[in-house]
A and B are shown apart, each in its own frame.
Chain A
Amino acid sequence: MHVLFIMVPVAFGLLCLALPWPRWQLASLVVGSLVHLGVTIRSWMTETSIEADAFFGIDPLGHLFLSLNSLLFAATCVYFVGYHRKALISQRIFLACVLGLLASLSALCMSRHLGVMWVSLEAASLAATPLIYFRLSARALEATWKFLLMNSVGIALALLGIFCIAVATQPVKPAIFLTTGDLIAQAHRLDPTWLRAGFLLALVGFGTKMGLAPLHSWKPDAYGEAPPPVAALLSGGMTLGAFLGILRVYQVCGAAGLAQWAGTWLVVFGLLSVATAAVFVVGNNDYRRIFAYTSVEHMGVMVIGVGLGLGGSYASMLHAMHNTLNKGVLFFMAGFFWRLYESNRVRDVRGALHHHPVAGVLFLGGLCATCGLPPFGMFFSELGILFAAAEKSQWWVVALFTLTLCIVFVGVMTAMLPMVFGPPPENVRSTPFGEKRWRTVTMLGSAAGLLVLALALGAYQPAFVRNALTQAAATLTLPIDSAAIVVARAAEARP
């Protein structure tokens, strides 16, 4: 079962490389992602269990992220068929890289060993690099260079963090593997200093990949210059992978009794991210960069949620789910507007609602979802985080969180609402592709599908979704408190 998740995209990727006809390549892309989605849905119906020292295994957290990835990839591949016009770099390499990205992210969600997790995240990063350079322009090249360099350095620091954690396992005899199961089981015997060092380095390293401030500077460039479906994949899928990296290390820290300390750092980085997003969103003139900064903000919110304990973790999982769906909608609509208005600038896009009502409604829905308006899910997740912070009497967190979210809301809405309302400019095209209705239908259809899902899962979550989120959150906050750790350590020290 595990192997399928990786082998399906790899097989279809190789098929993409092998087939010489562009349409067949696109077909294999779509079929591959849909098969992967099918395997994911199938996996929800069967129970799986994992041994403690296995390299691969699907635990509730990984399963949730894997399903979100799968869903987003399927929608994006359908969208891409409609969006894509002519290829500048070799199309087969591009499509193969998309499927390679899916394969490595699946491997990441399923990996239980920290080293394997690192390898798959690096593979995902490398698979994503050619995707950003799709348009072969100078700006895209610059964005690719910044993305590549910052991510590589971040990943190297994350590797150093994983090595620090390995050093922390040295007091444990006999030697344990770096699998999450083993680490959590033996967590009370790990060296705390090196575990802390490892957590900080992993937070900085994986945080660079995720786009937490102050390591976020590649994000606006990369999401602004990459083609919109790629930006959707990166912001909705790859960030989840990097988040998973942080969460695995956080699990180990939590089991070792350092949950409070680690949580403080997570909250600090999260608040910094939301504040940075607030500063840069206001007055920005490029709507894709604004989306990138909202992505930074959402990453910050997710990280704050996890740092605040059990209630916050559930809200964080809910937020992650809706982040994936919303980013899909937003970037799909950004791509549609790019085709219509041929500009990235906010000033040049006007009157979407009048010009193309369906697109305008979808974009407006995506905006409301991202900004956290009810009945969309982000409202409830952000509210949950506020409640969790209030429960712990962390009033500074409550105050800063509310303030920065308000600023982001104001910034995004003042920039984007004029895009939707008002009269359209003269030089806008009537339809993006002339007479080809099927392209418009594909693009808007995939966006609509995600938006409907976001709406449906917003105010009310069906039982199995709620279960999945609760189980995922539960793996993050294992009920071990510091007193038990001290007792366990003292018991071990006694001869």
Chain B
Amino acid sequence: MMSQSIIDAALILVVLLNLAMLATSRLARCVRIFAMQSLLLAALPLLLELQHTRALGLHPVAIAFGAAALKVIVIPWVLLRVLRTGEIHREVEPMIGFTASMLLGSLIVIACFAFGHRLVLPVKPQSDLLLSVSMATVLNGLLILVSRVKAITQVVGFLIVENGVFIFGLLLLEQTPVLVELGILLDLFVAVFIMGIVVYHIRREFDHMDTNLLDALKES
């Protein structure tokens, strides 16, 4: 029962971090919120396994360490390096505004909680919140991706979508082979690495990171 509350508390904290990211305008803070969220998510496989079998197998430990090393240390380091080399530190006010996008994100969370409660999983999951939180995280990540203008925030939005998919994957802890999970993590790392390089090139080429101004290609 105690560990159930810890798991629930971690998942709700993940949701609150999503909303905090929607409210913040500082780019470095976005990356750090993502790192915090990934730390919580890296701890979840261990907590779930502990609640399930009271012992830690190799599989959850490998996933937890892989996810932690990659998403808490390496990827934020890459993104912060890209930010440090530029002079851009703040996000531009999105079209719907920071407060409104946070409220929209919270509406999404409420809708996902209400809807996820009705979805029936074939096997009862270890926490009732896993499905709702994963849906909410994916949708909030898409909201960040769509409403923000700076390229780095769009990358962070994509990473939050991946976090949401990771939470959903926690429902299937025993089924996916370790190698596939590690492959997914490796792909994520290379993707972010390449994104970092592209953002660096964008900043160097255009002197800004404003994807609103990347509009040279259109139908003529």
Most B CB atoms within 10 A — which of A145, A156, A221?
Answer: A156
Interface check A175, CB cutoff 8 A? yes
Q: Is B103 an interface residue (CB 8 A)?
A: no
Q: Would you give the 0/1 interface string for B192-220, flagging 1 where the beta carbon is closer than 8 Å to chain A? A: 00110010011001100001001111011
Q: Is A297 an interface residue (CB 8 A)?
A: no
The majority secondary structure among interface residues of chain B is helix
User: Given A129-B198, A145-B214, A138–B206 Cβ distance below 8 Å?
Assistant: yes
Q: Which residues of B contact A419 (CB under 8 A)?
A: none
Check if A145 sits within 8 Å of B165, measured CB to CB.
no
Interface presence of B53 (CB below 8 A): no
The contact of B217 among A123, A143, A191, by CB within 8 Å, is A143
Beta-carbon contact of B168 and A160 below 8 Å: yes
| CB <8 Å contact, A130 and B211 | no
Q: Decide: B201 and A141 in contact? CB cutoff 8 A.
A: yes
A 159-213 contacts with B by CB, 8 A: 159-160, 163-164, 166-171, 175, 177-178, 191, 193-194
From residue 104 to 118 of chain A, which have CB atoms closer than 8 A to chain B?
113, 115-116, 118
Question: A280-304, CB under 8 A of B: which get 1 and which 0?
Answer: 1000111001000000000000000
Nearest CB on B from A132, distance (A): 10
Assess the A153–B216 pair: CB atoms within 8 A: no
- A98-152 residues with Cβ-Cβ distance < 8 A to B are 113, 115-116, 118-119, 122-123, 126, 129-130, 133, 138-139, 141-146, 148-149, 152
**Neighbour of B122 across the interface among A139, A160, A163, A171, CB < 8 A:** A171
Q: Assess whether B5 is interfacial by the CB under 8 Å rule.
A: no
Contact A284 B219 (CB under 8 A): yes
**Which residue of the partner chain, among B161, B164, B202, contacts A145 with CB atoms under 8 Å?**
B202
CB atoms of A115 and B177 under 8 A apart: yes
The reply to whether B220 and A163 contact each other, CB–CB distance below 8 Å, is no
**B169 is an interface residue with CB less than 8 A from chain A:** yes
Pairwise interchain contact B138-A160, C-beta atoms closer than 8 A: yes
Docked-complex contact A153 and B198, CB < 8 angstroms: no
Q: Looking at the complex, which of B64-72, B93-101, B183-191 is the stretch in contact with chain A?
A: B183-191
Report how far A154 CA is from B169 CA in the complex, Å.
17
Cross-chain contact B180 with A122 (CB below 8 angstroms)? no
Given known pairs A153-B161, A170-B123, the reply for A126 and B216 (CB within 8 Å) is no
Q: Mark A465-489, 1 if CB is under 8 A from B, else 0.
A: 0000000000000000000000000
Q: Cβ of B121 and Cβ of A170 under 8 Å apart?
A: yes
When the two chains form their complex, are residues A141 and B198 in contact, meaning their CB atoms are under 8 A apart? Answer: yes
Chain B contact patch, size range: 35 or more
Asked if B142 CB lies within 8 Å of chain A CBs, one says: yes
Chain A interfacial residues counted at CB < 8 A: 51
Interface centre among B162, B165, B174, B177 (most CB of A within 10 A): B165
* B38 contacts chain A at the CB level, 8 A cutoff: no
B145: CB under 8 A from chain A?
yes
Q: In the bound complex, how far is the Cα of B218 from the Cα of A280, in angstroms?
A: 11
Q: How far is the CA of A345 from the CA of B220 in the complex (A)?
A: 10
Residues of B9-57 contacting chain A, CB below 8 A: none
Judging by beta carbons under 8 Å apart, are A280 and B217 in contact? Answer: no
User: Which among A129, A138, A149, A221 is the interface contact of B205 at CB below 8 angstroms?
Assistant: A138
Contact among A113, A139, A156, A191 for B165, CB-based, below 8 A: A156
Check: A225 CB closer than 8 A to any chain B CB.
yes
A146 CB to nearest B CB, Å: 8
Q: Closest CB-CB distance, B1 to chain A, in whole Å?
A: 25
Indicate if the CB atoms of A152 and B122 lie closer than 8 Å.
no
Task: List the A residue with the shortest CB-CB distance to B188.
Answer: A122
Nearest Cβ distance between residue A213 and chain B, in whole angstroms?
A: 15
| Bitwise interface map of B from 143 to 178 toward A, beta carbon under 8 Å scored 1, else 0 | 001000001001100100110110011011011110
How far, in whole Å, are A261 and B174 apart by their CA atoms in the complex? 30
Alpha-carbon gap, A284 to B217, bound state (A): 13
CB distance from A441 to the nearest CB of B (A): 33
Q: Is the CB of B216 within 8 A of A139?
A: yes
Residue of B nearest to A221 (CB): B217
**Among B122, B202, B216, B220, contact of A167 (Cβ-Cβ < 8 Å):** B122
Cross-chain contact of B191 among A152, A175, A280 (Cβ < 8 A): A152
Return chain A residues, CB-CB under 8 Å to B184.
115, 118-119, 159
**Nearest B-chain residue to A145, judged by Cβ:** B198
Query: Contacts A133-B198, A145-B151, A152-B158 hold; do A123 and B187 have CB atoms under 8 A apart?
Result: yes
In the complex formed, the residue of A with least CB distance to B169 is A163
A168, B172: Cα distance in complex, Å? 10
Bound Cα distance A288, B72 (Å): 42
Cβ-defined contact, B191 with A126, below 8 A: yes
Question: Roughly how many angstroms separate A138 CA and B145 CA in the complex, as a whole number?
Answer: 22
B residues near A149, Cβ cutoff 8 Å:
145, 154-155, 158, 195
Report the nearest A residue to B170, measured CB to CB.
Answer: A163
6 A-B pairs (CB sep. < 8 Å): A123-B187, A141-B214, A153-B145, A167-B172, A170-B121, A194-B121
Top 4 A-B residue pairs of the complex, sorted by shortest distance between their CB atoms = A115-B180, A119-B183, A170-B122, A122-B187
Residues of chain A touching chain B, judged by Cβ–Cβ distance below 8 Å, are: 113, 115-116, 118-119, 122-123, 126, 129-130, 133, 138-139, 141-146, 148-149, 152-153, 156-157, 159-160, 163-164, 166-171, 175, 177-178, 191, 193-194, 220-221, 224-225, 280, 284-286, 289, 345
